[in-house]
Amino acid sequence: PLTGKSPFRRAPPVPTVAGVTALDPRDLHGQTAVVTGAASGIGAAVARRAAALGMRVVLADRDESALQRTAEELRDTGATVLPVVCDVRDADAVERLAVTAVDEFGPVRLLVGNAGIESTGRLWEIAPDRFERVFGVNVAGVFHGIGAFVPHMLDTAVPGQEAIVVTVASIGSVTTMPAQGAYVSSKHAALALTECLALELAQAQAPIRVAAFLPGPVDTGIYTSADADGVAGDALRERMRDVLADRGVTPDQAAEALFAGLAAGDFWIFTDETRAAELLRARADRLQA
Ligand code: NAD
């Protein structure tokens, strides 16, 4: 039974390459990170933390003005950053992002596929273009990142300095809920892609580590952005206000959890493991009912 701590912690579902487990964050100093959706929220916090560890950080986002603002804020702290306008739905743009990152900052040690959008509404009421947009960002965006960066990492990563690919999925990747069917199923797909990638890289004995980050509620603009508009948008925003007040974490706390999970060698990294276990149990109960 799923009680107490998540049964998944330190129990990766997939074999990782021998010796590729924990990470000393000091090893990241002077190395290159690429973060998508880095202009705001969790992505900006992950970029800040990577920069604080001494990484050079490529910030990718489709929102140019927010991107420039975040890049300026980071530069003011002495960080070495490169903002690149990039829509992750566009495979060519993500390919160009990879080329620019390598040209400007050298081999990429850490890719964080974080760009994502919310979506609300019951499945039979969501417009097809809306559904495609959600999957375009949350699933194809992750897929394009893998296609653009992993071949490069296979060429440059070496044992002992393995490259790391992180997908920002969601606690929604391991549960199901009404009125968020498009978002939740996109996050299930993002997690599945990431697990398949881990299997493929382990099979190939590649010195690349993969992790999935599954945050619970994080207080960001995602619930209020125009992208979150949907049939049940207002209802979701109302519900999220309570949920965030009750157990939300800040973007910086989420970024801290991510790097702690990487340091510990986790595959599934949660911000709230107890909640993850609860949700899995509730999901099993619902499916049995
Ligand atoms: P956010 O809205 O603050 O940030 C998302 C960023 O992604 C924005 O800067 C936005 O411009 C960018 N973006 C959106 N579409 C893009 C595209 N097509 N190409 C490039 N950039 C794009 O949201 P956030 O809460 O920081 O979300 C970051 C990730 O965390 C998302 O994948 C989200 O699903 C996930 N997540 C968030 C929460 C939460 O409660 N906030 C919980 C679980 C998972």
- pLDDT (tens digit per residue) in 159-209: 778 899 999 999 999 998 888 899 999 999 999 999 999 999 989 989 899
Residues 6+ apart with CB under 8 A from 121: 130, 179, 181, 182, 230, 231, 232, 233
pLDDT the model gives residue 26: 86
pLDDT the model gives residue 157: 76
pLDDT the model gives residue 221: 87
Does residue 169 contact residue 269 with C-beta atoms inside 8 Å? Answer: no
Q: Return the best residue to mutate from 40, 42, 90, 97 for the ligand 1 pocket (most ligand atoms within 8 A of CB).
A: 42
pLDDT bracket for residue 9 (50, 70, 90): very low
Mean pLDDT on 130-141 = 96
Please identify every residue annotated as catalytic.
183
Q: Is the predicted pLDDT of residue 48 greater than 90, yes or no?
A: yes
The sign of the CA dihedral 183, 60, 136, 164 is negative
Q: Return the best residue to mutate from 67, 220, 239 for the ligand 1 pocket (most ligand atoms within 8 A of CB).
A: 220
> What's 139's DSSP letter?
I
**Ligand 1 atom 19: residue of nearest CA:** 87
Q: Return the best residue to mutate from 48, 97, 218 for the ligand 1 pocket (most ligand atoms within 8 A of CB).
A: 218
Ligand 1: centre distance to CA 90 (Å): 16
Ligand 1: centre distance to CA 157 (Å): 28
Asked if the ipTM is above 0.85, the reply is: yes
- Between helix 64-76 and helix 41-52 the angle, nearest 10°, is 30
**Ligand 1 atom 6: residue of nearest CA:** 37
The sign of the CA dihedral 37, 41, 47, 50 is negative
Say how far apart CA 116 and CA 88 lie, in whole Å.
9
286 compared with 50, residue with greater pLDDT: 50
Work out which ligand 1 atom sits closest to the CA atom of 136: 18
Q: Does any ligand 1 atom lie closer than 6 A to the CB of residue 136?
A: no
Ligand 1: centre distance to CA 205 (Å): 32
Mean pLDDT on 42-69 = 98
Please provide the average confidence, as pLDDT, over all residues in the chain: 88
pLDDT the model gives residue 11: 41
Q: Does any ligand 1 atom lie closer than 6 A to the CB of residue 83?
A: no
3-class state of residue 81 by DSSP: strand
pLDDT the model gives residue 229: 53
Mean pLDDT on 27-51 = 97
Closest by CA to 113, choosing from 79, 149, 82, is: 149
Mean pLDDT on 227-233 = 56
pLDDT the model gives residue 160: 77
Give residue 266's Cα distance to chain centre: 14
Say how far apart CA 203 and CA 183 lie, in whole Å.
30
